[in-house]
Amino acid sequence: MNVVLIRRILTTIASAALLLWAVATIVFFLQHLVPGDPAMAILGGASANPPEETLQAIRDQYGFEDPLLVQYGAFLTGLVQLDLGESYTMKQPVTAIVSEQILPTLQLTGAALAIAWALAITLTLLTAGRRGWLGRLGAGIEVVFAALPHFWLGVVLLVVFAVVLQWLPVVDDGPLGLVLPALTLGIPLGGFLAQVTRDEFDVALRQPFVLSALSRGARTADVRFRQVLRHAALPGIALSGWGLGSLISGAVVVEVIFSRQGIGQVLVAAVNAQDLPLVIGVTFVVALVYVIANILSDAASVLVDPRLRHTIGATS
Amino acid sequence: MTTLITVRDLSVAFDGKEVVRDVSFSLRAGECLGIVGESGSGKSVTARSLLGLNGHGAQVTATTLDVGVDVLEATPEQLRHLRGSRIGYVLQDALVSLDPLRTVGTEIAEPLRAHRVPAAQRPARVQELLTSVSVPEPELRARQLPSELSGGLRQRALIAAGLALDPQVLIADEPTTALDVTVQAQVLELLEQNLSAGRAIILISHDLSVVERLADHVLVMHRGRVVEEGPTAQVLTSPQDPYTRRLLAAIPSASSRGDRLSDLPPATITAVPRERAPEAGPVLEAIGLGKSYRGPDGRTRPVVQDVSFTLDAGETLGIVGESGSGKSTTAWMALGLTPPSTGQVLLDGEAWTGIPERKRRSRRHRIAVVQQDPLSSFDPRWTVGRTIADSLSVGQGRRGGARGSAGSSGRERDRSARVAELLEAVGLDPAFAARHPLTMSGGQRQRAAIARAIATDPEVLVLDEPVSALDVSVQAQVLDLLGDLQSALGTAYLFISHDLGVIHHVSDRVLVMQGGQVVEHGTADQVLHAPQHPYTRQLVSTLPRRDLQEAS
Amino acid sequence: MTTLAPPLPEVEKPAAPPLRTARSSRSPLRHLGVALPGAVVGAVVLAALAPGLLAPQDPLEISLSESFAPPSAEHLFGTDQSGRDVFSRVIHGARQSLLIGLGATAIGLLGAMVLGLAGGLGGRLADGAVTRVIEILYAFPGILLALILIAVYGNSALTQMVAVGLATMPGYARMVRSQVLVVRRSAYVEAARTLGHPPARILLRTLLPNAFRPLTVLITLGVGQAVVWAAALGFLGMGVQPPTAEWGAMLNAGRHYIQQAWWMDFFPGVTIVLFTLSLTVLGRRLQQSTDAGALR
């Protein structure tokens, strides 16, 4: 059992490393497909009209004229040492910028994930497997929620709650400022998770073990909450790693709407300024977060589904 | 003796559609009541009415529905108290009737929790229950998941959960379905022990031999009504109702060989009799077949070892065995779908395995298959007619039908006429050609599957559990059909089944498999009347004690 | 933005329960449930094909005196900072947005089919490789991949299309792959093999049609989502450049005036929401009818 577990952990780490290497390689070569002179970008673009000597000095400094493989080697070496180079525009190490900016984004996405799950579970428990209007209402709410784009929901929430009602601040780095952005991100994902959870809930409710439990005198509420919900949550949990990835994607939009600090704002600015080291750095860190999130969601699945624990050796 | 359950004029309807009508019975302490019927007869709905578990949308009416409390008048909370403590209910197929995410111990402890047995007493009681249903190593089993237990142990664990609060009545709803016969016998024994310990049992089954073994009194249900009732021996030996008689006659067994099981008229098949030189060898021959698979642990596991047999033209070779015996793998190797690891198969004396699929293709029409689950073997997008026509498009070989330019209208017409002919030959209306398999009943689907299989006019038909998903009366019709087809077409059958009765009814010769090996081989009567191998003897001993057929 | 072809956990679902269509198909509510979203989608398609028919005004006509006019009878959706009629711009924007959505879906599906078929039909090695590629694509969450491409290749409708297409690809690819695997192992493919049909015929007549059947539903849902993604890029200023009328670009313009002219963002946004919601509802209905279709 222990050997199996260790082997499983090693496999997970190895495949995560492979994934990160692939991501890094892809972005590195994409970067070298960019038309134009990176040295020019560093010096503020063609409009800044830098002298040729300065350009050459920059090229030498960054090694832009080395063979591609040498540059790739240097890039990978840097990566291993957690050195992602220096931002062209901000003239700071990318690692420093990214590690500072990822925290507010993680707070935001974490809060959004919590909201999404709270929403999904509430909707499922209240309305799934119920006949009549209550079930239809729940299903309808989920479809609408899931279809709301962040850019629109965010603007509506902002105008209604911050501008018109003035209940919440428009821009605030404190916990109050987190409410609207997290809701913007969490509601659509919640709608989506609730759809998945409801479908599974309905499937599980028709399983003979439910009838079997009821026939032994179990309370309906008990069966719903202690047994069926657990089955219903499984696919949602497995999807949560992917969900966090999609939340980071959404965070780009939400941070722009609410002028929140975070990795999304950095990314938009970097793309606009063609600051490629920073773009790569952000991409890489997001991929890292995605990988970790997936490992966590796998672990959560194993916690909830004991069958996975027992078949570890058989399936890996 | 005290009467535990009294039911008078019970009717149940769903959305206005009546599925149970005017059912009456009573159950006294220590008695076993059998309810027999095919699927859709309303037997399970009747049982669930006793617990008030028919779900929303069920309209239950009765003059009396008394199980100690009046079910129709009881509050939901009273009903809940009744379930498990007064009446235990055991469903079929424990794999899905036990929560796959909970350990067996939690599952058995759950009724104790629901009925407020203090938490401290529960673990000991769980051990006690598991021991009482003869589950070995109860401490270990309680910590395992249902999926880690064998089918027999799972069913025992489910029974243990049903008995947790020591109910006076146990309802067992198809408790042995989906279990191997030897395991079935053990589960029945367990129920028998409970019965002799004084517990009253309502035993629901489609299988008369199961009911015969335990029940004192029998209700025969058909389409929601009780068509016959009485003491078990009386009902089984001198049935009054035509349905009961048909049901009894439909059971295949040793003595039913050569007789028709159903009252359908014999199929009318016009066919050119197959001409075959008497000195020609067997149509299908297996020599030392073996198959092994590499397990996840890297070790090679044999599933079939050294299986040899011959199949002569027009005869039926039955392969009988329990799950995991390797009988289906053997069939798949005979079909040339699974390459054998060792040995080889000869079709008409020529190599059939060990050659590239390309070389098999032109001969494939000579060997056809009918699978257990016909539904999944039909392309869901196609009508039955198209499926059969697709089969007709190959294997025009022997018939010498002109392989003209495809799509010419005359050919199209020929083909649809042939489809209609085939449908009629298997007892289906030609209008079925336009139907989708999903809209058909299990028996109709199996007939269509047979039509598809014989469309290529094969010399060998591999039948892999062709009737095991069907109700007894439908099974009887399909077996009769297969018999008619064989005598008209002279097709050789390789018939695979777990059911000894079926095997004895259809086979000329029998192969008994266990753990991937042939343990006994001979004519049907030799093997089943005078078994030599201990395993065969054990199998034969599970057959009904008295031959039901003689009675009817 | 979250519903786009998510990585469905590959669990075998039990067969669909018998559908109860008898009562529901007769209900008038049910008809409304198809007619209403159908009308929305129809209107958007009409606007894309012939915007002149629907738009009351020239979407590019500047009238500074009328800038920031709130919604009124004359300007249903109000006017923008240059006094252009937002309603007319929303109508004229449909073509660009729909094109990007359709193009992106086509790119995503084509790539997915190549990947999914290679994984589903190829051997274990091919399948392993495809699974890895899908996993890697997933590691670039949606907008991120699009932004990288835009950073590298600059800003154009084509980049936007390719970017959104690539972002949606892994979801489709996973679906195609698992579907191909399921069909490939099905008993009816086995049955076709026992008849001695050549592999090419089984592939074309049995395997592919069955494996691709669920994709029609996915396309319906996918186009809506691709429109949303493209609009999100436009909202970030990475889309079509002004003054062209395009929903995302309009959102981007409106974002700067959100406090004084909420209608500049609200109405293009509502249009997108209604459009995608309608496609979702239609897609689900289509799914139900294909599931039930076999029953007829």
Q: State whether residue C198 sits within 8 Å of chain B by CB.
A: yes
Q: SS3 of C198, please?
A: coil
Residues 6+ apart with CB under 8 A from B446: B370, B374, B466, B467, B470, B474, B478
Q: Searching chain C, which residue's CA lies closest to the CA of residue A146?
A: C3
Chains that touch C (3 or more CB pairs under 8 A): A, B
Against chain B, the chains showing at least 3 CB pairs within 8 Å are A, C
CA distance A64 to chain C (A): 17
Q: Do A19 and C135 touch (CB under 8 A)?
A: yes
- Nearest residue on chain B to C209, judged by CA atoms? B381
pLDDT at C2: 39
- pLDDT of res. C14: 32
Which of A33, A238, A252 lies at the smallest CB-CB distance from C236?
A252
Judging contacts by C-beta atoms under 8 Å, the chain A residues touching residue B84 are 215-217
Which pair of structure tokens corresponds to residue B449?
């599957």
Measured between alpha carbons, how far is B512 from B499 in angstroms, rounded to an integer?
A: 11
The residue to which tokens 């079997």 are assigned: A212
The domain made up of C46-57+76-295 is a member of CATH 1.10.3720.10: yes
Confidence at residue A193, expressed as pLDDT on a 0 to 100 scale: 93
pLDDT tens per residue, range B9-41: 999 999 888 999 999 999 999 899 999 998 889
Backbone CA torsion sign across A93, A94, A99, A103: positive
Work out the average pLDDT over A241-262: 88
What mean pLDDT comes out for the span A155-177?
Answer: 77
Token pair in block for residue A35: 């038309």
3-state SS class at B70:
strand
Task: Write out the two tokens for B348.
Answer: 């008409």
Average the pLDDT over each of A25-39, B206-220, B333-347, C96-110 and give the range with the smallest value: A25-39
Whether A304 and chain B come into contact, CB under 8 Å, resolves to: yes
The alpha-carbon gap from B247 to the nearest alpha carbon of chain A, in Å, equals: 28
User: Residue B506 above 70 pLDDT?
Assistant: yes
Mean pLDDT of B344-349: 92
pLDDT at residue C7 in the model: 41
Contact A287 C135 (CB under 8 A): no
> What was the pLDDT predicted at C92?
82
| B53–A211 CB contact, under 8 Å | yes
Contact B114 A310 (CB under 8 A): no
CA C143 to chain centre: 15
Residue B327 · residue B334 · CB < 8 Å: no
The verdict on a CB contact (< 8 Å) between C255 and A257 is: yes
Let me know if B468 is exposed, middle or buried by CB neighbors in 10 A (0-12, 13-18, 19+).
middle
CB of C150 within 8 Å of a chain A CB? The answer is yes
What is the percent of chain A where pLDDT is above 90? 20
**How many A-C residue pairs are in contact by the CB < 8 A criterion?**
162
Say which DSSP state B148 is in: G
> How does pLDDT run across A191-200, given as a tens digit for each residue?
999 999 998 9
- Average pLDDT on B469-479 reads 90
Put simply, whether B74 touches A (Cβ < 8 Å) is: no
Ramachandran region, residue B169 (left: φ > 0; alpha: ψ -120 to 50; beta: rest): beta
CATH 1.10.3720.10 holds for A94-315: yes
Mean pLDDT of B239-263: 84
User: Which of A131, A212, A304 minimises the CB distance to B91?
Assistant: A212
Say yes or no to pLDDT of A278 above 80.
yes
Cβ density class C135-169: b for 16+ within 10 Å, e for less? bbbbbbbbbbbbbbbbbbbebebebbbbbbbbbbb
pLDDT, residue B404, reads: 40
Q: Does C186 touch chain B (CB under 8 A)?
A: yes
By CA distance, what is A238's nearest residue in C?
C9
Q: Is residue C63 scored above 90 in pLDDT?
A: no
Using DSSP's 3-state secondary structure scheme, residue A178 falls into helix
Q: What are the residues whose beta carbons fall under 8 Å from the beta carbon of B470, sequence distance 6 or more?
A: B442, B443, B446, B478
Closest CA to B275 of B543, B500, B457: B457
Asked whether the predicted pLDDT for residue C137 surpasses 80, the reply is yes
Contacts of C5 (CB under 8 A, 6+ apart): C168, C170, C171, C172, C174, C175, C218, C221, C222, C225
Does B439 sit within 8 Å of C295, measured CB to CB? Answer: yes
Q: How far apart are CA B292 and CA B127, in angstroms?
A: 39
Q: Which residues of C touch A290 (CB under 8 A)?
A: 138-139, 141
Find all residues with CB under 8 Å of B28, minimum gap 6, and list them.
B1, B2, B3, B4, B200
Q: What is the 3-state secondary structure (H, E, C) of C225-288?
A: HHHHHHHHHHHCCCCCCCCCCCHHHHHHHHHCCCCCCCHHHHHHHHHHHHHHHHHHHHHHHHHH
What's residue A314's pLDDT?
A: 39
Per-residue pLDDT reduced to its tens digit, B178-193: 788 888 888 899 999 9
> Nearest CA to CA, how far is A89 from chain B (Å)?
54
ipTM topping 0.90: no
Enclosing H/E stretch for B203: strand B200-205
Output the pLDDT for position B167.
Answer: 93
Residues of chain C numbered 30-49 and touching chain A (CB < 8 Å): none
Neighbours of chain A (3+ CB pairs under 8 A): B, C
Q: How far apart are CA A254 and CA A183, in angstroms?
A: 10
- Distances, alpha carbon A85 to alpha carbons A18, A36, A97, A280, in Å: 21, 19, 11, 10
Instruction: Please determine, for residue B137, whether its predicted confidence score (pLDDT) is greater than 60.
Output: yes
The answer to whether A149 faces chain C, any CB pair under 8 Å, is yes
Average of per-residue pLDDT across B222-245: 92
B143 to chain A, minimum CA–CA distance in Å? 11
Q: Which of C24, C37, C228, C284 is nearest to A195 (CA)?
A: C284
Inter-chain touch C294–B438, beta carbons under 8 Å: yes
- Cα B441 to its chain centre, rounded Å, is 15
Mean pLDDT of C26-36: 69
A57-71, B29-43, B323-337, range with the lowest pLDDT? A57-71
**Residue C69 one-letter amino acid:** A
Cβ contact A131–B56 (<8 Å): yes
B-C Cβ pairs (cutoff 8 Å, strict): 61
Per the structure block, which two tokens stand in for B295? 């397990």
Amino acid at C282: L
pLDDT at B396: 54
pLDDT above 90 covers what percent of chain C?
Answer: 9
**pLDDT exceeds cutoff 90 at B309:** yes
Query: Which residues of chain A does CATH 1.10.3720.10 include?
Result: 94-315
Question: Which residue of C lies nearest to A23 if distances are taken between CA atoms?
Answer: C136
Give CA separation, C239 vs B222, B486, C157, in Å.
69, 72, 7
Q: Is the pLDDT of residue A45 over 50?
A: yes
CB contact under 8 A, C148 and A203: no
Which single residue is written with the structure tokens 């049992």?
B201
Asked whether the predicted pLDDT for residue C27 surpasses 60, the reply is no
Residues of chain A neighbouring C2 (CB-CB closer than 8 A): 146, 188-189, 191-192, 243, 246-247, 250
Of C188, C193, C198, the CB nearest to B379: C188
| A260/C contact by beta carbon, under 8 A | no
* Residue in chain B lying closest to C210 (CA): B381
DSSP state of B430: G
Question: Minimal CA–CA distance to A254: which of A241, A268, A240, A243?
Answer: A268
Q: Which of A207, A211, A216 shows the shortest C-beta gap to B110? A: A216
Contacts of residue B225, defined as CB under 8 A and 6 or more positions apart, other chains included, come to B21, B22, B23, B42
Q: Which residues of chain B are at the C interface, by a Cβ-Cβ cutoff of 8 Å?
A: 335, 337, 360-365, 367-369, 371, 373, 376-381, 390-391, 394-395, 436, 438-439, 452, 456
Helices (H), ranges, B215-343: 232-237, 242-249, 327-334
Q: Report the C-alpha gap between A156 and B120 in whole angstroms.
A: 55
Lowest mean pLDDT among B277-281, B443-447, C84-88, C223-227: B277-281
C194/B436 CB distance under 8 A: no
| Residue B96 touches partner A, C-beta closer than 8 Å | yes
Q: Taking CB atoms and an 8 Å limit, are B115 and A217 in contact across chains?
A: yes
**What are the pLDDT digits (tens) for B508-530?**
999 999 989 999 999 988 888 88
* Beta carbon pairs, A and B, within 8 Å: 83
Nearest CA to B53 among A213, A202, A125, A231?
A213
pLDDT band at B277 (very low <50, low <70, confident <90, very high): low
Run of H or E including B10: strand B3-14
Give residue A182's pLDDT band: very low, low, confident or very high (50, 70, 90). very high
Alpha-carbon gap: C80 to the closest alpha carbon of chain B (Å):
52
Picking from B56, B83, B101, the nearest residue to A214 by CB comes out as B83
Which residues touch B95 (CB under 8 Å, ≥6 apart)?
A: B146, B147, B151, B154
In angstroms, what separates the C-alpha of B113 from chain A's closest C-alpha?
8
CB contact under 8 A, B394 and C193: no
Which of A11, A25, A196, A271 to mutate to probe the C interface, most C CBs <10 Å?
A271
**Predicted local distance difference test score (pLDDT) of residue A147:** 87
From chain A, the residues in CB contact with C13 under 8 A are 203
C281 CB-near residues (< 8 Å, 6+ apart): A143, C33, C34, C37
Neighbours of B367 (CB within 10 A): 27
Sequence-ordered list of residues with C-beta below 8 angstroms from that of C13, at least 6 positions apart, any chain: A203
The pLDDT > 70 percentage for chain A reads: 90
DSSP per-residue codes, B160-174? HHHTTT--SEEEEES
Find chain C residues with C-beta within 8 A of B391's C-beta: 195
Distance CA B274, CA B277 (A): 10
Residue C185 has pLDDT above 90, yes or no: no
Q: With residue B307 as reference, give the H or E element that holds it.
A: strand B300-311
d(CA A180, CA A171): 10
